[in-house]
Each structure stands twice: as structure tokens, then as C-alpha cells.
Amino acid sequence: MSNTSINKASTNESPTNEASNSSGNSFTGKQVQQVLLTLLLGGTVVSFSNSALNPAIPVFMSVFDVDIVMGGWVLNAYVLAMSVGLMLSGYLNKKFPFKHVYLAAIFGFMLGSAIGMLASSMSFVIIARAIQGLSGGLIIPLSIGMLYQIYPQQQHGRVMALWGIVIMMSLAFGPLVGAYLVEQFAWWTLFAITLPLSAAVMAMVWRLIPDIRSHDKRSPFDTIGFVSLLIWLLAMMVWLSTLKIDFTGGLLSSDGLLQIATLGLLSVGFLLSAMVWWAYERRQRHPLLNVRLFNNKTYLHSNIISISQTVGLMLCLLLLPVLIQDVMGESALWTGIVLMVATLVASITTHYAGKKVDKQGARGIGIVGIGISALSTLMLAWCLYQPTLWLLMLIMSVRGIGVGLAYLPTTTVGFSSLPKESVTEGAALNNISRRIISTIFITLSTIYIDSRGAQLLAAGSSQGMASAIQEILVVIAVLLLLTIPSACKLPRSP
């Protein structure tokens, strides 16, 4: 990342070269640049840690002797805990100074790293990831909210493109660094490496971030909304962790039909309870999550697209290491290389798309990006008949183009359609929606792959897991295609 890019993004077009947030706080050009650098590094620590751990999921499965369902909870624990952090971010941002909340979040991330480094079982690894997820759930929406406050609307696409590039670069190099650390040293170094980076962020926040005071300290905390959603999340987590589906007897057998009926009834129960919570939140003057923001149609449709893109991205991040290392028998370094190349392509595409969004809107870019994402996902399923590393790298790179066009540009337009003082709440609502839904999809997918793979192996197939992964990839492609109507609802121009 060059200084020119940072200066470009951090310089407003006003004669005074100052930015003002919705609270009346003014920032000089130098302060804006310092805030930007600090937030970029903070986001990098979170993103790097996540991506570096992805190639190690098969390693955790091997070291602690667990199956893919338990291995998936390295990812799911982070996502669910992040949801809790996202719930709290809007309230804490109103109640306390930004600097204090951000420092506490970074310290929490460091604590999670220390626990993970010293973990003696899979349970402690999952606990460490949960602590990091809680902290990450505060860091991301706080950062995005601050960026939207200190930059004018006509520069949102540019600054979010810069944010996306830096985050994607850390996502790109994270798998490669993580794979190298696992192969040359040990799995615990994946946690240890983030400790000095987190310490550097804390020092920068302490020295460079202005002491911005809250503008709404009297906002009450929605205790009922928080406790009820937390209970719902915990109940769902317990249910998903104990859920088993046995295909060996056939889905049309009495046992199979009983499993389907039980799964359906419990799913309906969780859905109805979620709808009750949603109705309660809509009536609150100071809700835990401002679900009324979905009344904004641009924000609503941008969220639908970002949710589907996140589901596809998270599943690919989970399944690709399993495919390369367990099915193909290749080194973890190859997982890192494939993911790095794909994310670098997505980063370059995001930079291009960010500039176009400020001038042309996100409708056309979003439609093209969704189409490329869906087509490349189908190509990925097709190539699993005879997978090769170079073909995987090519298809994942094409998929990176689709993600770069569809994800960040549409999300940026959604945030820009909100009042500046609501962007932190909007970012929290966007992130928690993506995390909860992706967690459900990931868990159900891993359970399906484990059970379906066992059934195919029992039937004499030599590619049981690969075939099950193919079926999941087809489902993802269909899900992506269903979001094209939402892209058509986005504005044609900024």
C-alpha cells in the first residue's frame, strides 16, 4: 500500500482540508491520515488472524483427533462470538469514547491469542477463537463507522476500496504465512504471531486516535433484546453441535423421514422465535440492533447480496483446505498459495470497482460480479471430478473477480444510503446477519459432507467427500444466482 494511496484517501476536497463527523468533531488532514492508518492496521490484524488459521483446520483435526464437524467450530466459534460483539458495538459506541472501546477490543484480541497459543485441547482453541471473535465484532463496525464519519459521501467508495484492498491483502497473505508457520514450526505460532501486531495497534490507538467523546451517552441498553438473542444463539449453537444426519439407511426410510421431520420442526421453531425477537426490536426506541434500517431498500438489498457472498466465501475458505490437504493429499502451503492468488485477484478487482462505484453506482457491477461468482462456483464443483492445483488456482482467481465486483461495491452503496450517524449500527447489523446465517450454512454443510461422504464411501465410491463437496458447491451457486434481483434493485448512479 503506497503513501500516495493513503494521502489520496485521507485528503478531503474542502479548502480547509478538514473532516467533521456527525458529533461535531473536526479532524485535520494529518489526523484523518493517522486515524486511517490505525484502523487499517487494526482491521489487518483481525483479517490476517482469520485467514492464517484457515489452512490449519485440517491440522487441528489431526492434532486433536476430531472430525470435520468439530473442526468447523474453529470457524463457527469465532463467527458466533463475533455476533455478540456486533450486538454490543452500537451501544458501546454511543455510551463510551471510541478510543476506549477500541483499546478494549484490541486487548481482548490479544488475550484470545495468548489463550490459543497455550491451548492443550481443541476446546481451548475454540474458546480462544470465541474471545477473538467477540473482540473482532467490536473492531470491524467501529472502524467502518469512523471511516464513514470522517470522509464525505463522495469519497466513500474510494476509502472503502482502500479498506477492502488492505483487508484482502491480509486475507491473501494470511493463508500462505499460516501454512508456512504450521509446516515449519507448530500450529500455536498462528496465535503467537498476532501478539506483537496487536500490541503495535494498541500503541497507535493510544498515541494517534483523538479522544472522541460519545454523542449519545444516555441511550439505554436493550437488555431484553440482548439476553434473548444471546439465548437464541447459544441454543442454536448447542443444537447445531449435536446435530447428526445419518444417510446410510436412506432418506425415505422411517429413520430418514424422522430425521427430516425433527430437523424441520426445530428449524421452524428457531425461525419463529427469531421473528418474535425481530418484531420486538422494531418496536424499541433504542434497540440492540436497529432492524428498522432494513426499511431502507438500498441497504436491504445490499445486505442480501453481501450475506450470500459471505456464505460462499466462508464455505470456500473452509472446504478448500480440506479438499487440497485431505482429498488431494497436498501440502498446506499449496492451500496458502491458491488462497493468496485468489485473494490478490479479488483485491485488484475491488480497487477497480471502488472507483467505478463512486461514478456509476453498484447495479451493473453487482450483477456482473454475482454472475461471475456463481459461474466460477459451478466450475469449481465441475473440476472436482479430476482436481488439479493449477485448475483450482485458475477457478478461484475467476471467483475472486466475482467477489471483488459483487461484495464490497454493493456493501458500500448500502452503507452510503444511511445517515452517517447510523453507519456503525448498519455495519453491525450487516455483519451479524452475515455471521449468523453463514454459521448455520457452514455447520449444516459440514454435517452434510460428513454424513453424505460416509454414505457414498459405504456404497463403494472412492470420492465420497469430494462428491459431497461438489453438491454443496452447486447449492452455493444457486444461492448466488437468486440474489441477482437484489442487484437489480440497487441505484444506477451514486
Q: Please, are residues 337 and 54 in contact by the beta-carbon 8 Å criterion?
A: no
User: Given its phi and psi angles, is residue 221 left (phi above 0), alpha (psi -120 to 50 degrees) or beta?
Assistant: beta
Q: Please, are residues 319 and 58 in contact by the beta-carbon 8 Å criterion?
A: no
Average pLDDT over residues 450-454: 74
Q: How far is CA 41 from CA 34, 35, 136, 176, in A?
A: 11, 10, 13, 19
Q: Please, are residues 454 and 248 in contact by the beta-carbon 8 Å criterion?
A: yes
If you search the block for the grid coordinates 463527523, which residue do you land on? 21
- Which homologous superfamily does the CATH classification assign to the domain defined by 24-488? MFS general substrate transporter like domains (1.20.1250.20)
Helix, coil or strand: residue 343:
helix
Helix, coil or strand: residue 329:
coil
Query: Other C-beta atoms within 10 Å of 264: how many?
Result: 10
Q: In this predicted model, which residue has the larger pLDDT, 292 or 408?
A: 292
Amino acid 7: pLDDT: 46
- 441: Cα within 13 Å, side-chain hemisphere: 23
Average pLDDT over residues 184-199: 88
Separation between Cα atoms, residue 429 and residue 399, nearest integer Å: 26
pTM above 0.75, yes or no: no
Amino acid 371: pLDDT: 94
Amino acid 217: pLDDT: 58
Distance of CA 270 to the CA centre of its chain: 23
Q: How far is CA 244 from CA 84, 253, 450, in A?
A: 26, 16, 9
Q: Model confidence over 255-276: pLDDT tens digits? A: 556 666 777 777 788 888 888 9
State the average pLDDT for the chain.
Answer: 79
Q: Model confidence over 375-420: pLDDT tens digits? A: 999 998 888 777 788 888 899 899 989 988 888 788 888 888 888 7
| 379 backbone dihedrals φ, ψ, rounded to 5° | -65, -35
Amino acid 449: pLDDT: 79
Q: Please, are residues 101 and 461 in contact by the beta-carbon 8 Å criterion?
A: no
pLDDT at 116 over 80: yes
The DSSP letter of residue 463 is: -
Amino acid 299: pLDDT: 92
Amino acid 60: pLDDT: 82
Q: Model confidence over 196-245: pLDDT tens digits? A: 989 998 998 888 777 666 555 566 788 888 888 888 888 877 777 666 66
Q: Element (H or E) spanning 20, and its range?
A: strand 18-20
pLDDT at 107 over 60: yes
